[in-house]
Chains A and B, each alone.
Chain A
Amino acid sequence: NFMLTQPHSVSESPGKTVTISCTRSSGSIASNYVQWYQQRPGSAPTTVIYEDNQRPSGVPDRFSGSIDSSSNSASLTISGLKTEDEADYYCQSYDSSNRGVFGGGTKLTVL
């Protein structure tokens, strides 16, 4: 099986752009789609990106996703940061047996 590694925390100012990385330990990042989930304190997660770079309806286009085969990683980019974006963000994919794998999560602080 593989692991997905994220930075523990990132911080940025309102209006700026932040990128959160998610590195796959083994196997190709392109082998299985990557999803990104946002979890605000005290709330259930919600999906902000699915299938590497698709946004569910209702998610603003300030949120974008991508994968980079050279670094074997996925990235979530949030532009025009707002205080409401402050949350934990988790990347997620599936292994070859269709078992879910989550990254450890990244705490985004907007200060």
Chain B
Amino acid sequence: EVQLVESGGGLVQPGRSLRLSCAASGFTFDDYAMHWVRQAPGKGLEWVSGISWNSGSIGYADSVKGRFTISRDNAKNSLYLQMNSLRAEDTALYYCAKDSEQLAGRGWIDYWGQGTLVTVSS
């Protein structure tokens, strides 16, 4: 059974940093691209970032480019999102999501985690 378990969310002040983690199990992690997708309270889904199976291809939404960094550790079956210079508008539930293919953008999201909540407020 595929499981994606996010952690690392919490309350953080504007301008500070936070690192999200996603522990993956139930599939061969290094065979697939991965994504972060977020959802602000009461709002729709927003794609944040994607990373290919070998970290060779990475993409970011314009809204987070230059502030967020996605990475993965295939030896630990883990996905990460380093979030710097956080803003109030980054407040959201952050989902870790598995792609059906090795390269992000070539497949579709077939599994989602339950999300971790990030609240940016003073």
- Is A bound to B? yes
Residues of A within 8 A of B (CB): 1, 32-33, 35, 37, 39, 44-47, 50-51, 56, 88, 90, 92, 94, 97-105
Of the four ranges (under 10, 10 to 19, 20 to 34, 35 or more), the interface on chain B belongs to 20 to 34
Residue of A nearest to B62 (CB): A1
Q: Is the CB of B110 within 8 A of A90?
A: no
Chain B residues near A88: list those with CB within 8 A. Answer: 44
Q: Which of the segments B19-27, B75-83, B101-109 contacts the partner chain?
A: B101-109
In the complex, 25 of the A-B residue pairs with CB atoms within 8 angstroms, ordered by the A residue number, are: A35-B109, A44-B95, A44-B113, A45-B95, A45-B109, A47-B108, A51-B108, A90-B45, A92-B47, A97-B59, A98-B50, A98-B57, A98-B104, A98-B106, A99-B61, A99-B105, A100-B35, A100-B47, A100-B50, A102-B46, A102-B47, A103-B44, A104-B44, A105-B44, A105-B45
Chain A residues near B95: list those with CB within 8 A. Answer: 44-45
Task: Tell me whether B100 is interfacial, beta carbon within 8 Å.
Answer: yes
Taking the closest CB of chain A, its distance from the CB of B82, in whole angstroms, is: 18
Chain A residues near B100: list those with CB within 8 A. Answer: 50
Chain A residues near B114: list those with CB within 8 A. Answer: 44
